């Protein structure tokens, strides 16, 4: 008789539920949230699964890739579809979610989604880090402007190149403000350096990839836009 499994994934562990073709629970367990552990657990269970399902999410992609590479019939489920199916649950727990996913797999009431490839995930992580560095650099600049404004010193309009010299001119006669400015300007310089290093890395990635090179032939589309689009689509 065919069996179906549902996984509800958390940071440290995964709740697993196996049901048979009639919907009867065959086995339940909580195991470490690692691909090797889950692969070994299903192997020890003995009966092959007809389908294994887990909800799409940040913790699911690595598990999905590992289980798929091991030859297990795993599907990544569309999150909104799963949440809609579970609305009638009076109490939500990991165990009940695993049971619900197992039943969805048995009935076929699910919508599989594409799991992004490792290269696409890496590009997305680089783009996210670039955005974070840019935002933190901007936060440091705004904080420094705010501190100086409290002492009646206005930085005014600057460019990225003239910002530091303008600040140093303003605090030249204030020891305490010099200490504050030195600390924040050093932090800004490190953020700027790492931001530029990521920009260089992303530009090289865009030039080395045929689809992004083609996208960049469109007027107004540069390396960042091309990489963002290509990594979002991943597999056309």
**What was the pLDDT predicted at 177?**
96
Provide the 3-class DSSP secondary structure of residue 55: strand
Which domains are present in the chain? 3-107 (3.30.420.40), 118-233 (no CATH)
pLDDT computed for residue 169 by the predictor: 95
* Positions in the chain whose pLDDT score sits under 70: 88-92
Q: Buried (b) or exposed (e) across 18-29, using 16+ Cβ within 10 A?
A: bbbeeeeeeeee
pLDDT at 91: 60
Per-residue pLDDT, 88: 64
């Amino acid at each position: 008789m065919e069996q179906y499994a549902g996984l509800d994934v958390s940071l440290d562990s995964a709740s697993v539920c196996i049901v048979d073709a009639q919907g009867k629970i065959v086995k339940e367990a909580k195991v470490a949230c690692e691909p090797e552990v889950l692969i070994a657990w299903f192997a020890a269970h003995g009966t092959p699964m007809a389908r294994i399902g887990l909800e799409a999410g940040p913790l699911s992609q690595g598990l999905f890739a590992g289980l798929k590479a091991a030859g297990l019939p795993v599907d990544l489920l569309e999150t909104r579809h799963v949440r809609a199916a579970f609305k009638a649950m009076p109490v939500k727990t990991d165990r009940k979610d695993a049971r619900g996913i197992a039943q969805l797999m048995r009935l076929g009431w699910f919508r599989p989604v594409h799991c992004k490839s490792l290269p696409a995930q890496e590009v997305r992580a680089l783009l996210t880090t670039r955005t974070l560095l840019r935002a933190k650099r901007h936060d440091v600049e705004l904080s420094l402007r705010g501190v100086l404004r409290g002492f009646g010193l206005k930085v005014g309009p600057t460019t990225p190149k003239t910002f530091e010299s303008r600040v140093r001119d303003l605090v030249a006669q204030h020891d305490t403000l010099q200490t504050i400015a030195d600390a924040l300007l050093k932090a800004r310089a490190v953020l700027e350096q790492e931001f530029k290093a990521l920009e260089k890395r992303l530009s090289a990635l865009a030039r080395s990839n045929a689809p992004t090179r083609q996208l960049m032939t469109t007027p107004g589309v540069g390396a960042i836009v091309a990489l963002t689009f290509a990594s979002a689509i991943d597999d056309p």
